[in-house]
């Protein structure tokens, strides 16, 4: 069966306003010490098929690249087999059984967080035992942990030693007391720009 002939499942957002995500990960740029604990924890995630947090190796900084969980995700629109979906909690997830590893989501992502350069080799190594053998890595905010305990945090956040990664309520940024050292975050800025 060719990828385009896969019957399209009704999208979670089709015909209805997309559900609002409750919490998201933000990165406090004034705290990241580039230790890569987040990427290591994500890499060893037993529930996932690949590292969804990857360090940006280009340039001087070594900052974690995380999925922004967009309100209008380009990766969902681009996926030819409906492997990328927004679920009923607003989390953009990849369905492992459907993903064919074509890389469409990677090319569509405006932030480059699904880049093959970032997932690349690691994704391939980690997905040897998976069904397709080729899967795109995608952050699902560690739904396996959150389902078990609502107080839980994604692995990258729980592993962050410096407190740079935080899992915060997605209230309007202006009303949020993020209590940051310098007030600069990746998640906050992008959330304001992309989803409002």
Site string for another protein, 127-166 (x = CB under 8 A): ------------------x--xx-xxx-x-xxxxxxx---
Rounded to 5 degrees, what angle do the CA atoms 188, 117, 68 make?
Answer: 20
Segment lying near another protein (by CB under 8 A), choices 15-23, 36-44, 85-93, 129-137: 36-44
| HSE value, Cβ hemisphere, 13 Å, CA-based, for 78 | 16
Task: For residues 109 and 69, give the distance between their C-alpha atoms in angstroms, rounded to a whole number.
Answer: 11
Going from the C-alpha of 3 to that of each of 33, 84, 128, 137, 170, the distances in angstroms are 42, 14, 21, 19, 35
User: Is there binding between residue 37 and another protein (CB under 8 A)?
Assistant: yes
Instruction: Give whichever of 20 and 44 is closer to another protein, judged by the CB atom.
Output: 44
Task: For residues 40 and 42, give the distance between their C-alpha atoms in angstroms, rounded to a whole number.
Answer: 5
Which of 18, 48, 50, 55 forms a contact with another protein (CB under 8 A)?
Answer: 55
Going by C-alpha positions, the residue among 93, 72, 105 that lies closest to residue 3 is 105
Segment lying near another protein (by CB under 8 A), choices 5-13, 18-26, 102-110, 117-125: 117-125
**DSSP states along 132-148:** SS---------HHHHHH
Least separation, in Å, of the C-beta of 171 and another protein? 20
Least separation, in Å, of the C-beta of 167 and another protein? 9
Give the residues lining the site for another protein (CB under 8 A).
Answer: 30-31, 33-37, 39-41, 43-44, 46, 55, 57-60, 62, 121-122, 125, 145, 148-149, 151-153, 155, 157-163, 179, 181
């Amino acid at each position: 069966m060719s990828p385009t002939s896969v019957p399209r499942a009704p999208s979670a957002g089709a015909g209805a306003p997309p559900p609002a995500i409750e919490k998201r990960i933000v990165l406090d740029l004034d705290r990241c010490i580039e230790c890569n604990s987040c990427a290591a924890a994500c890499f060893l995630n037993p529930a996932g098929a690949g590292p969804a947090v990857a360090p940006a190796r280009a340039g001087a900084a070594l900052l974690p690249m995380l999925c922004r969980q967009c309100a209008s995700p380009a990766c969902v629109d681009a996926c030819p087999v409906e492997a990328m979906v927004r679920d009923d909690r607003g989390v953009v997830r990849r369905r492992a059984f459907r993903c064919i590893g074509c890389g469409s989501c990677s090319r569509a992502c405006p932030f480059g967080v699904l880049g093959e350069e970032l997932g690349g080799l690691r994704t391939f190594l980690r997905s040897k035992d998976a069904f397709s053998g080729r899967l795109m890595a995608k952050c699902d905010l560690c739904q396996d942990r959150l389902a078990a305990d609502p107080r839980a945090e994604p692995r990258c956040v729980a592993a962050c030693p410096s407190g740079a990664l935080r899992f915060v309520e997605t209230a309007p940024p202006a009303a949020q007391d993020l209590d940051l050292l310098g007030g600069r975050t990746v998640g906050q800025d992008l959330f304001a720009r992309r989803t409002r």
